Structures are given as structure tokens and as C-alpha cells.
Structure 1
Amino acid sequence: MPGLTPEEVFRILYALPEDGEDSDISTDSNDYSESQNTSLILRNSDNVIVSNEDNCFNLTIDTSEIGNMSPCQASVSDSTPETPAATFSSSEKMWNENISYFENRPLKLEESAENIANFSKSDKEIKYFESTFTEELLLHICNQTNLYARQERCIVKSGKKTTKVSSNWQDITVPELKAFLGMLILMGVHQFPQLGNYWSSDPILGVTAISSVMTKLRYKKIVENLHCNDNSTYVKKGKPGYDKLHKIRPVIRAISNKLCKVYKPSSVLAVDECMVAFKGRSTLKQYMPMKPVKRGYKVWCLADASTGFIINFDIYTGKRDTNDTSEFILGEEVVLTLTKAMDGSKRLIAFDNYFTTLRIMEELQSHGLYGIGTVHPNRKDLPYMLKKNSKLSRGEFEFAVRSCVAAVKWQVSKPVCILSNYHNPKHVTTILRRNKDGSRS
């Protein structure tokens, strides 16, 4: 660049506003808080060095290759010029130790669980069942069963496909459906190798409580036609709106909606997965070797942390459709879906590291909810502090804050990483560890 001194070249390429308030780049005093005396060095291909040692900037320019310099080559280092420069992402710079957001948080959540349905100790099991499995739902099942019994269906017999309707069908009623459901529950308790044994004339095998309710033929006819949804509204696989749980979706929706109305949860809830044991054939069956129940249906649950009462649930149907345009990953989507009815209630939602991300904490805060969960340190946008080997002693911790979220690393036998948008990271409490013999110390 003829006619320009090296100082003028540098001023053009690396011009900064004289007043910090005029800058478009926001800086944080805690980005490099390891030591106040640490020097900040900007390097450019070993030709330009700017250092803030002793709080004054010294400029050295090697003009031998000034024409090859590029403003995109600057990097940041906290060591000598010979050491490769350390890099900090824009996300990393947003983490600091400013806890002003947490100072106004309530120290204790006061909401307590409440039985809205007003159950008493003298109530029988049937009342609990009917509080969620309502007359409206039973009537819906009866109507759909009667509808299906009159619909033509495809039957494969001797390798040939034919269509037919159910023969000799008599409409099922709500009392008969209740009796049928009671028989199913009793059969699960009193199990036989063959269905016919329940109606056996042998006094050793026969179960009067079942055989006296309905005949075996009527029982089989109800099993043949029992339905919960209209087959004519079924959407085929591959088309928008396809639902693997179409046949039982009305039942799932009705029960999950009713659970919130019969029970008022406490201030702390938990989101987790549970398994319903099943070893038959189903595309919905999952295998989870680390669970007590290894094979079966996986169910996402929102439960009261103090009583274990399930407030909402949904059944996992497998990988999401490739056409799904949701901006949230599966774990985030599950938390937001299950807690939607709790928006604005200021309750605390707890979950494990499968669900925990920085984004879900920010989303819960925007929905009027608090969240806490263990987290994988390599999740996106988390501070480097969680990943580095800090060599903490047992019981020691360190933290970083970004907006409304605190990231804490607590040392036990190994580091435990936690995200929370409720707990003040500077508040310390003492807990008792559970020993191998079950005692606490």
C-alpha cells in the first residue's frame, strides 16, 4: 500500500471506536476472569502483536510481509506469542458469574398437592378408576365398537381375501363394557394357560366370578370387535397426519386430560420415561437394557415428585418423521408437550440428562416454569468450565451463568453437571449421602 505508513495500515484494518459505548461488540469482563494479570494478545500471522500487559497496549509491527496480512487472521491467546492461540466461541463469552437474575427467586416453592376428586379412605378402587375412566369415555368405546362391528373388513381365509361384517353382533352397552373390563383385570390376577379354563365345568379350574358374568362366546365376540376409534378416519403411513396410535388415541387423550382435573400437583414435578412390560410383537416395542423392565412400551410421564401421581403421559412411537419441522430435539419436545398445561404456574420441572439442554431451560423460563436437570457437559452452547478438568475436591463446586440459566459443576466421586433456571448457584446447602447399607451420612 504505497503512501501509507505501517501504523496507518494497521489503523485501517483493525480500527476500533475510541469510546467503548460506540462499539457494536458487547464484551464481558468475566470472559477472561482466571487472572486479572493475564495478558491479552492479539496475533496476526506472527506479524502484528498487541498486548495489554500492565494495562497499556504495546504495538509491534513487522512490515516485511505487510501485504499478506488479513483482518480475518486475528486470534486470541492468554499465553506467550509462541503458544498457539486459544479460541473462544461467541456462546462461551456469554457465560459469566452475574447472579442478579437469581437474587429475586423465591427460596421455597409453596404449592402443595391437593386431591381435587375428594377421595376418602372408605372409597373403593372402582371410584379411583371411574375418576379417570369416565362414563363419556366408556360410551365412546361402546359407540366405536358397535360401529366397527357393522363395518366391512378384509378377512384372509385359505389364502383368499374377502370382506364381511361381524355376524350375530349385539350392541354392547356401558354396563356390559364395565363387566368386560373387570373380567380382563381379574384374568390378569388369576392367570390360566388357556382362555377356556375360566369357563371350565371342572370345579378346580372354573372361575365363577368370570363364567357367571358372560358366556365365553360373548366374551370372544367383544374381543373381536372392541374398538376405540373410527377406521374410516385412519391416515395411511407416509401421509401427513399419520399416527401409529390412531386406534387408541382417543383413550390416551381422554385419560391424560382427565388426570390434570382430578389432582392438583405440588410445586415440584418430574419428567421421565417408564416402561410397560410387553414381549409380544409390536413395532412400538422398545428394548432398554439399563431399565428394570427391558422390553415393552416406552411411555413419557409427567409426575408429581412428592407423591408419584402421573399428571400427563404420552407413548413413544419411535423415530420422528423426516418431514417433522419442529425446531426442538425429541427430549425438548417431550418436556414442552407434557408441561404445556402447567405454563405460567411457576412450578419446578426436574428431569435427567436425556432432556436437559440450555434451550429447554430458556423455553421453560419463557413459559413461566422453572427447570433443573443433570446435563452432558458436551451439550451445545454450554460453558467450557463444565468440560475442563478442574481437579475439585469432594463437595467443591464452580458455576457460570448465562441470562436466566446457571451451569454448576459439583464434585462428588466424579463431577456432576447441572443446569437450572431457578436455583441461585451461590446458595449452598448440606445433604446426606446414601451409603451401601442404606444409611445416610
Structure 2
Amino acid sequence: MDDFEKRRIESYLEETDQIIEVWGGESSGDENVVENDNRSDHDTDSEQSVYDLEYDHERDEIMVNEKDFDNSYNELDDDVPLSMRVQYFVGKDGTKWFRKKPTQNIRTIQQNLVTEKSGVKGVAKNAKSEIESWEIFFSNPIIETIVKCTNIYIAKVRSNFARDRDALDTNNREIKALIGCLYIIGAIKGGHRSTLDLWKTDGLGAELLPCVMSEKRFQFLLRCIRFDDIRGRDERTKVDKITHIRWVFEHFVDNCKNAYSVPEYITIDEKLQAFRGRCSFKMYIPNKPAKYGIKIFAVCDAINFYTSNLEIYAGVQPDGPFKLDNSASSVVKRLVQPIRNTGRNITTDNWFTSVPLAIDLFNNYKLTLVGTIRKNKRQLKIEFTSTKSRPIYTSYFGFSEDKVTIVSYTPKKNKIVLLLSTMHHSSTIDESTKEMKKPEIITFYNCTKGAVDTMDKKTENYTVARKSLNNNNNCIMLIIVLFFKTKRTFILLLSLS
């Protein structure tokens, strides 16, 4: 049979298969299907490919009809199984995925138009030195609250000391000096050295520390530092597990949001703040370096790695005003509230990513989403998730009427990578990947996925955490995160001056 006859028969089969709904039945238990774990598959990648769709100003939404999808024959169809050569596929929940991209029109979609300029903003523009930059994050109200709450605790324990001078009240200046000592210890990577060793004056210690305060006073302040009023804490704990640090933490996060406007690409991920002390919401995550600690959801600038928003995962809170929905979609929507309707793109891993979330962010938040997605989602079917008979470096695309693009890529034998994007609306392959033929969605994802991990790594390099079982010292994590923020922001401030 010659090539022309073969092509004619395959064209006829394609026309016949378009009448049939090929997604019927449940997916088979293929042992070769890749099981995505609970966290992101960091073997993948994605690059921006802005696609233009017709914009209806009357209805304030993007218009796409089934006739807008290009269903013409393409030479690449020779590498696609017959079961994939249809106009569209139907997922378990009825979601339609068109094989071909929509035809290109004129206007750039509104969700790809960033409406806010990135950079230092507000009072942060007035900072001219490191200390002024630092004070933007650790503002006077935060320092004063720490001083007040610490003095309340000191008054409670003062009777345990033989001399009153061993339990003197603290003040703003001394608390700042305490934090400065912690920074010095972090800079010399002395978190696991004893304070007696650090305060040596024979040339083996940190010579600056004894000039700031005595080792005994340093130990006393670390033991007494508090971030909430211990009076009435038992009642507050009944409705809020993180009442010990809530006020200071939330004001610190507000300062982070008010000091800097993130660029067009941000990343949402979790970080595990190392901690092995007493804490009801301490987590065990075996694939994290620390393994034990407090889980924090973070929003990071994918370019400068600035952390603009944080949320502590406290598990299931008691009934009351602080009880939150901890589902992945709810967490994302809370974290992106400060950038709602700004046209930015969010990169997430497969714990967060879902088709309903992507559609909700696109339609109601004017934000786009790019992320890996788990194969067990009801919107997908076996043809996207199976590795059976898949040549390496092949990509299968699906385009929905809700502006969602799905790509299934085979980076190696018996392995697939699934990604979702509402920012990309084409099947463009990144030519720079050469024979690997990675889709632009994947190369863009690889460029933006690691912002939170990078921030976490940089802060851990200079951690100021001290070995302690004191639950109140969990707030030291604020200082750890702050260390890198302050350095990054000061660099940005200098570049503007």
C-alpha cells in the first residue's frame, strides 16, 4: 500500500471517529501510569506564550466558539494514535478537550495584561539604609508588642530569681539588639554552637556578641521573649491554635505586602520551618530536609524570590472566627487576594492545581494559572495519563472552552508529565529544547516553579534558629524569613535611588 492510499484511509478513519465519544468507560489499571506524589513533580518545565482571543467588552468575558477550533489535518497526526484523532475528548465529568488550538484573533486576553507595576512601593521607597529597610518589616508596633508581652512574662517569673537585677524589664532597643545577635549567629552559621562558646573572648567566639549584651542576658531574653499576652491565653487558645504569634505574624505579613509589588509571575508553594518542640500542629513531611516542623504556605516573586504573603497551616482550628477551609483551592484564593484582578500568573504544584481552580481564578480573579496536575482528576482520561505505546518526547494537547490548556508530555520511557495552563493557548514547542521537544508550558513552569524553594534555601543558609523546646520560640521563624527579605528589599531600594 503506497503512502497516498494509507493517508486516505487514515483520513477516513479520523472522520468516522469524530462521531464516536471515545471517553466511555472507566480507566484501566495500567501499571505504567505515572503516580504523582503529594508534592510537585520537579522534573518538568514552561515559557510564556500569550495567545489572543476575541474580547467582548459588553459581556466582559472572552468569546470562544467550537467553530474557532482548528480541526484541519496536520502532518504531526501521523504520530498520534487513532484514538486521539478526534475533534474533542470528553472527561469523566463531561469536560470537553479539543485537540486543536483555537484560531488566533486580535486581542490579548485580559487575564494576560498585568495592571500593576512591580517594585518597591509606599513608605518603603523612603528607606535609605539597611536599618531603615529592616524597620519597614519589623515596624515599631511589632517591636513594642514584643517588649510589652515579654515584660509581662518577666514580671511573672521575677520571683524565681534571687536578685531583681537578674530579671530586669526589657525595652525596644534591647529587643532589637537581641535580634541583631541572632543575625550575627546566623551569619557565622553558629546556630548549633553553645552560647558559652559564642561569647568567648579568647578569639574563638564571635567578638561582637559580648559588646552587645552578656551571654546570661541573651539566654534570659530568649527564654522570656513572648509575642502575646500570657494573661488570657488559655481562653484564646480555645478558638485559635496560633494565638501565641497571630498578631505579630499578621502585622509582619502586612508589612511584606505593603512594601513591595510583585512582578507578573509568582509562585505558591509550602515551606517547612524546622521545629521539633511542643506544638499541636507540628508536621512530619519526610521529603523535606527538616522533616519535622511548622508548615507555611508562601507566595513568592518568581524573579526576585521576595515573599509577599504567608499563611501558617494550623490544622483543623476549633469552631470560631479562625476556622478556615484548608483545601488547596481555598488556600490559593486566600493567598492571592492582594493581587486579585491584576493579570498576574500563578505557578503551583500538583497539590494545588485543579481545573475548577484554574477556571475560577481566570474568570473571577483575572489571574492565570500554570501548574502540574495529578492524573486522577475527573476532568482527565486514560489517553492523557497512560504511558502505553507513548514514544518519548511526544506531547498531547487539549484545549477547553473555559480557556484551559492541558498538555501530556513524555520525558522518558514509562513516564508522563501533566500540566495545566490558562496562560498558554497554543501547542507551541520550545525550539531551544531541541530533540526533547518540550512544550512552552513546561519550560515556563520550570522557570517559575522554584521561587519558594529558593527563598527557603537562602534563609536556611543563615538560619538564626536556636535549639529549643519552647513553643513560643516558633516566632523566631519570622526573623529567619525576614533576614532574606531585608537583604533583597535593600538591594531593590538602592537600585531605585
TM-score (norm 1): 0.65
How is 1:80-99 mapped onto 2 (pairs within 5 angstroms)?
Answer: 91-92=93-94, 94-96=96-98
Residue 401 (structure 2) pairs with residue 396 (structure 1): no
Residue 274 (structure 2) pairs with residue 290 (structure 1): no
Q: Equivalents in 2 of 1:334, 1:143: separation in Å?
A: 32
Q: Equivalents in 1 of 2:270, 2:130: separation in Å?
A: 26
How is 1:319-358 mapped onto 2 (pairs within 5 angstroms)?
Answer: 319-321=315-317, 330-358=327-355
Q: Equivalents in 1 of 2:217, 2:395: separation in Å?
A: 68
* Structure-2 residue corresponding to 1:231: 230
Q: 1:194 to 1:292 in 2, by over 3 A?
A: closer
Using the TM superposition, name which of 96-105 and 215-224 deviates more.
96-105
How is 1:124-139 mapped onto 2 (pairs within 5 angstroms)?
Answer: 125-139=130-144
CA contact 1:267–1:348 (8 Å) conserved in 2: yes
* Structure-2 residue corresponding to 1:407: 406
Residue 150 (structure 2) pairs with residue 145 (structure 1): yes
Matched residue of 1:246: which SS? coil
Residue 279 of structure 1: CA displacement? 4.8
Q: 1:364 to 1:38 in 2, by over 3 A?
A: closer
Residue 271 of structure 1: CA displacement? 0.5
Q: Per-residue displacement from partner, 1:246-289 (whole Å, max 9, x unpaired)? A: 21222221121111221111111111122333455544443333
Residue 404 of structure 1: CA displacement? 3.6
Which of the two has higher C-alpha Rg?
A: 1
How is 1:23-422 mapped onto 2 (pairs within 5 angstroms)?
Answer: 35-36=17-18, 38=20, 91-92=93-94, 94-96=96-98, 104-106=107-109, 113-116=118-121, 117-118=124-125, 125-151=130-156, 169-190=167-188, 191=190, 193-200=193-200, 203-205=202-204, 207-234=206-233, 239=238, 241-243=239-241, 245-280=242-277, 282-317=279-314, 319-321=315-317, 330-365=327-362, 366-383=364-381, 385-388=383-386, 391-393=389-391, 394-413=393-412, 414-422=415-423
Q: 1:306 to 1:39 in 2, by over 3 A?
A: closer
Q: Per-residue displacement from partner, 1:350-409 (whole Å, max 9, x unpaired)? A: 101111112211221212211111101212343554335574442432214152433222
Q: Per-residue displacement from partner, 1:138-167 (whole Å, max 9, x unpaired)? A: 112112222333358999xxxxxxxx9x95
CA contact 2:137–2:252 (8 Å) conserved in 1: yes
Residue 291 of structure 1: CA displacement? 3.1
Matched residue of 2:212: which SS? coil
Q: 1:285 to 1:153 in 2, by over 3 A?
A: farther
Q: Equivalents in 2 of 1:369, 1:400: separation in Å?
A: 18
Q: 1:308 to 1:194 in 2, by over 3 A?
A: closer
CA contact 2:237–2:243 (8 Å) conserved in 1: no
TM-score (norm 2): 0.58
Q: Equivalents in 2 of 1:433, 1:295: separation in Å?
A: 41
Matched residue of 1:247: which SS? coil
Amino acid in structure 2 at the alignment position of 1:35: D
Matched residue of 2:181: which SS? helix
Count of residue pairs the alignment pairs up: 345
Matched residue of 1:271: which SS? strand
Q: Equivalents in 2 of 1:178, 1:213: separation in Å?
A: 11
CA contact 1:302–1:312 (8 Å) conserved in 2: yes
Matched residue of 1:257: which SS? helix
Larger helix proportion, structure 1 or 2?
A: 2
Q: Equivalents in 1 of 2:282, 2:288: separation in Å?
A: 14
Residue 222 of structure 1: CA displacement? 2.4
Q: 1:395 to 1:385 in 2, by over 3 A?
A: closer
Q: Equivalents in 2 of 1:102, 1:148: separation in Å?
A: 66
CA contact 1:145–1:227 (8 Å) conserved in 2: yes
CA root-mean-square deviation: 4.2
Q: Equivalents in 1 of 2:280, 2:181: separation in Å?
A: 27
Q: 1:292 to 1:171 in 2, by over 3 A?
A: closer
Q: 1:153 to 1:231 in 2, by over 3 A?
A: farther
Q: Per-residue displacement from partner, 1:388-440 (whole Å, max 9, x unpaired)? A: 557444243221415243322233323221222232144554342799xxxxx
Q: Per-residue displacement from partner, 1:301-339 (whole Å, max 9, x unpaired)? A: 11111111111112333x435869999653222211211
Q: 1:335 to 1:167 in 2, by over 3 A?
A: farther
Unaligned runs of 5+ in 2: 1-13, 23-89, 437-497
Q: Equivalents in 2 of 1:376, 1:154: separation in Å?
A: 58
Q: 1:404 to 1:106 in 2, by over 3 A?
A: closer
CA contact 1:399–1:425 (8 Å) conserved in 2: no
CA contact 1:408–1:425 (8 Å) conserved in 2: no
CA contact 1:277–1:293 (8 Å) conserved in 2: yes
Larger strand proportion, structure 1 or 2?
A: 1
CA contact 1:92–1:383 (8 Å) conserved in 2: no
Q: Equivalents in 2 of 1:331, 1:34: separation in Å?
A: 41
Unaligned runs of 5+ in 1: 1-31, 41-87, 156-163, 436-441
Percent sequence identity over aligned pairs: 22
Q: Per-residue displacement from partner, 1:38-76 (whole Å, max 9, x unpaired)? A: 499xxxxxxxxxxxxxxxxxxxxxxxxxxxxxxxxxxxx
Residue 228 of structure 1: CA displacement? 1.0
Q: 1:94 to 1:153 in 2, by over 3 A?
A: farther
Q: Equivalents in 1 of 2:425, 2:360: separation in Å?
A: 18
Q: Equivalents in 2 of 1:285, 1:267: separation in Å?
A: 33
Matched residue of 1:92: which SS? coil
